[in-house]
Amino acid sequence: MGDRHHYLPQFYLRHWCEDSGALWCFPTSGEKAIHSNPRPFAAERGLYDAPDDSLMSSLDHEGDLAKIEGLHASVWPGIFERIASLETKRNLASFIALLYLRHPDMRQMLGAINNRFSELVDGLPSEQEILFENRQGKRVSTAGDVRKGIYKHDGDLQVAFIRQMRSGVKFLAKVLADRKWGILKSEGPIFLTGDRPIVLCRGSCTKERFGLRTPGTQITFPVSPRHMLVIQDDWEADRLIYPLFNVKNLNDGVIQVAERFVFGFRADSKLPEIIKGIRRQT
């Protein structure tokens, strides 16, 4: 097993800590809250390790991530109040894109897609043609060509995860930056965060299937207990700071998508029951 790699930067979670350096961690199971420093949370052993026999094994993925985190730690969260600058917005879009792509959810998603392709061609002759259709159009591949792209070992999937984490940032950052941003700012610590802090909501989208760039959808990201980034098409203008409105819906979204923990800035005896209630609805 490798070292513990954090998929949520420690500097980010420290903004939810009290002066003692501890934050409140509320299990999504509804169990008793844990009062702890943030180090044990949002981490997985060997998350960014590449197999020794891969071309990426010599790259220091965790070290590269630490350097990027260091650049943002000293200016967080105040930098979000400077998003009137288009350059600042684009830089933050790159950071958020990387935060999204480095999450272990992405590896699980790649594995699920790989399994679907494997099931699709199972038993088909290599010359069998298969029609694929997406936003870019239609294309035809053979079952044999599909098989060549299937990951046969866990190590192959790990390399694909790391490769996408590195190569997908530019594309996803542009997707995020091309949409309207607004920062909700509260005078007091109001917002929760979780171990999956980037939340995609349907919003006004009417399509059955939707993603981060689908018109009408809403993307939220708790920047700090006092700042919430909301990416949506309904903003009157781009890159403005807005007074706080319905915080409940925003915190509910964080609770709905959290995997194991919701993080808070203070003790809240009612929150475990609230979490259980919201989780039962999803």
DSSP conformation letters of the chain? ---EEESS-HHHHHTT--TTS-EEEEETT----EEE-STTSSEEETTTPPPTTSTTTTS-HHHHHHHHHHHHHTTTTGGGGGTTSHHHHHHHHHHHHHHHHTSHHHHHHHHHHHHHHHHHHTT--TT-EEEEEETTEEEEEEHHHHHHTS--SHHHHHHHHHHHHHHSHHHHHHHHHTS-EEEEE-SS----EESS--EEE-TT---SS--TTSTT-EEEEEEETTEEEEE-TT-SSSSEEEE---HHHHHHHHHHH-SSEEEESS--TTHHHHHHHHHHH-
Instruction: Answer whether residue 36 is part of any domain.
Output: yes
- pLDDT at residue number 248: 75
Instruction: Answer whether residue 246 is part of any domain.
Output: yes
Instruction: Answer whether residue 45 is part of any domain.
Output: yes
**Total structural domains in the chain?**
1
Instruction: Answer whether residue 269 is part of any domain.
Output: yes
Instruction: Answer whether residue 144 is part of any domain.
Output: no
Instruction: Answer whether residue 216 is part of any domain.
Output: yes
Confidence of residue 195 (pLDDT cuts 50, 70, 90): very high
- pTM for the full predicted model: 0.90
Confidence of residue 50 (pLDDT cuts 50, 70, 90): confident
Instruction: Answer whether residue 110 is part of any domain.
Output: no
- pLDDT at residue number 281: 75
Mean pLDDT over residues 10-35, rounded? 93
Instruction: Answer whether residue 105 is part of any domain.
Output: no
Confidence of residue 55 (pLDDT cuts 50, 70, 90): low
Q: Range of 243's domain? A: 4-100+179-281
Most confident stretch, 12-16, 27-31, 45-49, 55-59: 12-16
Query: pLDDT tens-digit profile of 121-178?
Result: 999 999 998 888 877 678 889 999 989 889 888 888 998 999 898 899 999 999 999 9
